[in-house]
């Protein structure tokens, strides 16, 4: 069982949902980024998602795009990303998931990347621009190395494709909760909760993690009530880094979000 799956299983046994917390590697620079990621862990994040900076992040809104620019200006490449992973892994057993567009993976080489993920302690890979029709080779390499490939479902994903995405995914299925790009939402629309219910009716044996537009404890409670197993919070946390918040303030923000996962109704999968 992967570290991600074990985490979801343990949380379910406690009646809790999961908080997946995202930051960009190397933001504002590789040295200071370590302190911010450590704050995510201390704040109680159940899974830490590490963004790999890329020059053309088509799924990301302005906040995460700006973080990527800062990281790239600080010369954040794969070596810096894996150095961060190694540091975090020596401190905690929290699952670590890399979110990278496919171009950096292609340049590095799928096999070499997966081998380094295994060596450093990466637990999962999210590749938002790699369609399920093209994921087989990466999936085969990753599964042999004990790394979960996590696919994304969107509001436009039909039922048959949902089944294919769920079959290709391990750890959890990433549900894009709204149209458009990532961003710090102020309200959570009914379309998001309807989407969760739709996906849940098709995907019964894999945790659902919902992202895009979640920033407040009330948002998390709403997606959990609709049937999600995890909430992914990114832009709201990245914005703290962009505004030069102290790591202690970020830790408090994560702690408040994590509190919303406790006491949520939890039904067994399957």
Active-site residues, by number, are: 49, 60
Nearby residues of 206 by Cβ (< 8 Å), 6 or more positions away = 166, 169, 172, 173, 269
Backbone angles phi, psi at 178, to 5 degrees: -160, 165
- In terms of phi and psi (left: phi > 0; alpha: psi -120 to 50; beta: otherwise), the region of 44 is left
Q: Distance between terminal CA atoms of the chain?
A: 17
CB-based contacts of 124, cutoff 8 Å, min separation 6: 2, 4, 47, 95, 96, 97, 98, 147, 148, 149, 150, 170, 171
Residue 47's closest CA among 111, 78, 3, 112?
3
The SS3 assignment for 58 reads coil
Residue pair 173/195 in contact (Cβ under 8 Å)? The answer is no
CA 184 vs CA 62, 82, 191: distances in Å: 10, 27, 17
Q: b/e per residue, 53-68, with b = 16+ CB within 10 A?
A: bbeebebbbebbbbbb
Nearest to 15 by CA among 270, 269, 265: 265
């Amino acid at each position: 069982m992967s570290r991600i799956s074990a985490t979801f299983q343990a949380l379910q046994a406690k009646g809790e949902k999961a908080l997946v917390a995202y930051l960009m590697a190397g933001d504002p620079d590789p040295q200071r980024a370590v302190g911010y990621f450590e704050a995510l862990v201390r704040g109680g994040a159940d899974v830490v998602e590490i963004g790999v900076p890329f020059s053309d992040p088509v799924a990301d809104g302005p906040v995460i795009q700006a973080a990527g620019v800062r990281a790239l200006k600080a010369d954040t490449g794969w070596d810096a990303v894996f150095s961060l992973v190694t540091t975090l892994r020596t401190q905690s057993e929290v699952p670590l998931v890399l979110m990278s567009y496919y171009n950096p993976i292609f340049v590095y080489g799928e096999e070499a990347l997966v081998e380094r993920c295994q060596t450093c302690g990466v637990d999962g890979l999210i590749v938002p621009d790699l369609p399920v029709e093209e994921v087989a080779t990466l999936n085969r390499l990753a599964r042999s190395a004990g790394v979960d490939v996590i696919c994304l479902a969107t509001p436009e994903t039909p039922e048959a494709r949902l089944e294919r995405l769920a079959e290709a995914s391990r750890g959890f299925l990433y549900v894009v909760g709204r149209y458009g790009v990532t961003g710090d939402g102020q309200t959570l629309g009914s379309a998001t909760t309807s989407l969760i219910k739709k996906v849940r009716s098709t995907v019964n044996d894999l945790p659902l993690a919902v992202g895009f537009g979640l920033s407040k404890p009330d948002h998390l409670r709403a997606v959990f009530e609709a049937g999600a197993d995890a909430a992914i919070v990114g832009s709201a946390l990245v914005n703290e880094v962009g505004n030069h918040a102290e790591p202690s303030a970020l830790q408090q923000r994560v702690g408040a979000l994590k509190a919303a996962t406790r006491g949520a109704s939890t039904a067994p999968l399957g």
